[in-house]
Structure 1
Amino acid sequence: MNKTFTVTRTVTEDAIDNNNHMHDAYYNIIFSEVINKFNEVHGLSLPERDRLQYTVFTVETHTTFLHELTLGQEFNIELFLYNYDDKRTHFFLRMLIDNQEVVTTNEVMMLGIDRTQRRAAPFPKHYLNAIQDYAHKQEKIEWPPQLGHSIGIPYKGE
């Protein structure tokens, strides 16, 4: 059975900006919280990180906004593990309303860090095993055009 890590949230009043929709910074806070929850569930909780003197850093991120969210809207965030190795995870998250319409996507590269050295280090074995298992069991989707998308304005000449 394919199972995708999913979190449900609702747009709260403190997340609303001057344009009367969810502030762009809140999307990224929510995506970060979902990744933290995923890590916690898969063996890399904050107490476990303290015990191991280990953590993960975000080294790259890209968010694409497709539709706006407004006060009171409920939405789901789905987390997919696009790729990984012994010290990096490449996550792709999508935020959906009505379990079908994608409103925002977030692509994140995370790096495992030995906190005593402040340097990249392999994942703890139990976490690596957990993400390998997740990668095989997650829902298989067609990767959207937002994955790997680079930002830019096409040059039109002078």
Structure 2
Amino acid sequence: MSEQPFTAPQTAAAGTGPQNVPQAAGRQSQTGLETGLPTSVTHDERRAGAGAAQDLHLRSTDPVAEAPIEVLRGTVRCQWIDHNGHLNAGYYLVAFDDAIGPWMEFIGLGAAHREACDVTTFSAQNHVTYVREIGPDEPYSITVQLLGYDRKRIHAFQVMTQTQDGYVAATCEFVSLHIDGPTRRVGPMADAPYRRLGDIWAAHQQLSLPSQVGRTIAVPPSAQAHLHVDLVPQLA
């Protein structure tokens, strides 16, 4: 069966901040009305401002020396703080999205490969869990653990760690789709990045599965809980 045209959805767990702050849209730009950012902002432009993320200069020729792989270091920007005095829910996805660029460079699907082969990647799904508050000007790093892959899909898991005190602030489970540029349809990736994913998989397949992976969003069953009837069997 041939692939059908695909429009990538975005899903994420609800946060505690204002709902009028948009989440990151796609992997190359961020759009919205009330972010204080331009209508289209590239990864490089986002890193150029205050609280800029540090480029770790990852390349697809680098050895797979650590698992999970650290792909980004940064500092929480004051513009990302909401009325609760902590990082707003939508901006966690901005930070996680910034970490996708170096991850793609590391696996061989970076800008040069995309331009040469006329391919790209789309986000199919994100699931963010908000573990602990992180505040303005606090440093963080983001790591990636590969959970699975094939020629058309990459399933992975990001962890944001507040590095000053060494605690996990948030996680993001995501699926990326490999897209053929001319058709805008899901299509197989080239041999080189597929082999590179195999090298990473060799180092990651024995890692413990994070507890947040595959987590269902729901109110826990109890005498006081009111749940949709079709959710009850899933939570039993």
TM-score computed with the length of structure 1 as normaliser:
0.90
Structure 1 Cα separation of the partners of residues 166 and 139 of structure 2: 12
Identity of aligned residues (%): 27
CA–CA distance in structure 2, aligned partners of residues 26 and 157 of structure 1: 31
CA deviation map 1:36-75 (0-9, x unaligned): 2111132212232122110111111100001111011111
SS at match of 1:131: helix
Q: Supply the distance in 1 between the matched residues of 2:198 and 2:132 (Cα, whole angstroms).
A: 32
Q: In the TM superposition, what whole-angstrom CA distance separates every residue of 1:115-152 from its partner, at most 9, and x where no partner exists?
A: 11111111121111111111222495322221000111
**Paired residue type of 2:104:** N
Q: Structure 2: which amino acid aligns with 1:86?
A: R
Q: Does 1:141 align with 2:192?
A: no
1:47 aligned to 2:112? yes
Mapping of 1:2-81 within 5 angstroms?
2-6=66-70, 7-81=72-146
Partner of 2:198: 132
Query: CA offset at residue 2 of structure 1?
Result: 3.8
Q: 2:189 aligns with which of 123, 128, 136?
A: 123
Q: How high is the TM-score relative to the length of structure 2? A: 0.62
SS at match of 1:29: helix
8 Å CA contact 1:2, 1:138 repeated in 2: no
**Higher strand fraction: Structure 1 or Structure 2?**
1
Say which SS state the counterpart of residue 99 (structure 2) adopts: helix
Deviates more, 1:31-40 or 1:86-95: 31-40
Shift of 1:154: 3.7
Greater alpha carbon shift after TM alignment, 121-130 vs 42-51: 42-51
Distance 1:19 1:39 in 2: 33
Q: Give SS of 2:151's match.
A: coil
d(CA) in 2 for partners of 1:2 and 1:17? 34
Gaps of 5+ in 2: 1-64, 228-236
Amino acid paired to 2:69: F
Question: For residues 180 and 210 of structure 2, what CA distance do their matches in structure 1 show?
Answer: 33
- 1:121 and 1:157 mapped to 2: Cα distance? 42
| Structure with greater helix share of residues | 1
- For 1:55, what is the secondary structure of its paired residue? strand
Q: How many residues align?
A: 158
Highest Rg: 1 or 2?
Answer: 2
- With CA pairs under 8 Å and 6+ residues apart, which has the higher RCO, 1 or 2? 1
Aligned to 1:114: 180
Rounded to whole Å, the distance in 2 between the matches of 1:50 and 1:120 is 17
